[in-house]
Amino acid sequence: MKTTTQTIRQLKGKRPIVVLTAYDFITAQLATEAGVDMILVGDSLGNTALGYESTIPVTVDAMLHHCAAVARAKPSALLMCDVPFAVAGHSTDYLLDVCTRLLQVGGAECVKIEGGKLIAEKCASVAQAGIPVMGHIGLKPQDVLQLGGYRKFGKSAAERQILIDEARAWEQSGAFALLMEMMDFETAAAVTEAISIPTIGIGAGQGTDGQVLVISDALGLNAGKYPGFAKKFVDLRSIAVEALAQYATEVRERKFPE
Ligand SMILES: Nc1nc(=O)c2c([nH]1)NC[C@@H]1CN(c3ccc(C(=O)N[C@@H](CCC(=O)O)C(=O)O)cc3)CN21
Ligand SMILES: CC(C)C(=O)C(=O)O
Ligand SMILES: [Mg+2]
């Protein structure tokens, strides 16, 4: 059965929501067959699929290209696409135009937008246009140039209060859910209590309404670079390299083709 934003909203307080990233046709099929609730075409594709150092170089065109490939897998999971770097800082008209294209051209069913209170308020226009929005607070990787690196958020009482205010702003703007990245576990639990929409965590502990993971982190496909919170559920990289080395050997020894 097709998962909708309504399905996701109703899962709060019932059972944890499972979100996984996908970047192309094949990873979308894997996520679909595994039965996840939501697929995120994350701008982390900049790191995992395109070889960039951060998500800053990821363009709207790149997101459209990858999202359309994921959509062609016709996932039963709700399909969400990240709004990439700086788009939400432009005019509301431009933000609305990009979100519209992510749905109409990319085939996404909802969008995720990194931002605090100001961006959250701007996103009310997107939600009112009929585009479901997930907010993204805590560590916002698109802010890496200002942050100078990645860190945990919400450790101090002051920062916890800011995050709770930001979460309420997203809820007020009509966001259907909220993502919290690299957040102090107690703060993440406090935010989850404070709002009526579901929270999805990554590096934010057990106290959220769901979890999200990058597919290449879960499958162990990356070359050594893993965030501390990621779990390798299998080491596919070594299995794949071994298989491909065997192919090379068999060709060189004239064993393949038989
Ligand atoms: N492969 C991958 N997985 C991700 O989860 C991910 C990406 N790429 N790219 C986009 C963002 C960036 N994210 C990241 C990346 C690194 C850390 C990290 O290294 N965290 C350290 C602590 C921070 C530090 O000391 O720099 C950690 O140990 O978790 C955290 C989030 C999450 N996202
Ligand atoms: C790590 C998740 C939350 C994300 O935004 C991405 O994959 O781009
Ligand atoms: Mg992202």
Report pLDDT digits (tens) over 72-98.
999 999 999 999 999 999 999 999 999
3-state DSSP call for residue 150?
coil
Please state, in angstroms and rounded to a whole number, the distance separating the CA atoms of residues 38 and 96.
22
Cβ of 149 below 6 Å from ligand 1 = yes
Q: Ligand 2 pocket test: pick from 17, 181, 222 the residue with the most ligand atoms within 8 Å of its Cβ.
A: 181
Query: Which residue ranges make up each domain of the chain?
Result: 5-218
Q: Which atom of ligand 2 is nearest to the CA of 212?
A: 3
* Residue that wins the pLDDT comparison between 223 and 234: 234
- State both tokens at 87: 């788009």
Pick the catalytic residue: 53, 121, 181, 258? 181
Longest pairwise C-alpha distance within the chain: 68
CA 170 – CA 161 distance, rounded (Å): 14
Residue 196 labeled ligand binder: no
Atom of ligand 1 nearest to the CA of 225: 1
Distance 11 CA to ligand 3 centre (A): 22
Mean pLDDT of 5-27: 98
Query: Which ipTM did the prediction report?
Result: 0.94
- Answer yes or no: CATH 3.20.20.60 is held by domain 5-218: yes
How much is the pLDDT for 224? 82
The average confidence (pLDDT) of the chain is: 98
d(CA 227, ligand 1 centre) in Å: 4
pLDDT score for 166: 98
Which H or E run contains 213?
Answer: strand 210-213
pTM for the model stands at 0.97
43 is in an annotated binding site: yes
What is the spatial distance between Cα 206 and Cα 221, in angstroms, rounded to a whole number? 25
Residue in 55, 183, 211, 212 to alter for ligand 2 test, most ligand atoms within 8 A of Cβ: 212
DSSP symbols for 97-133: HHHHHHHHTT--SEEEEE--HHHHHHTHHHHHTT--E
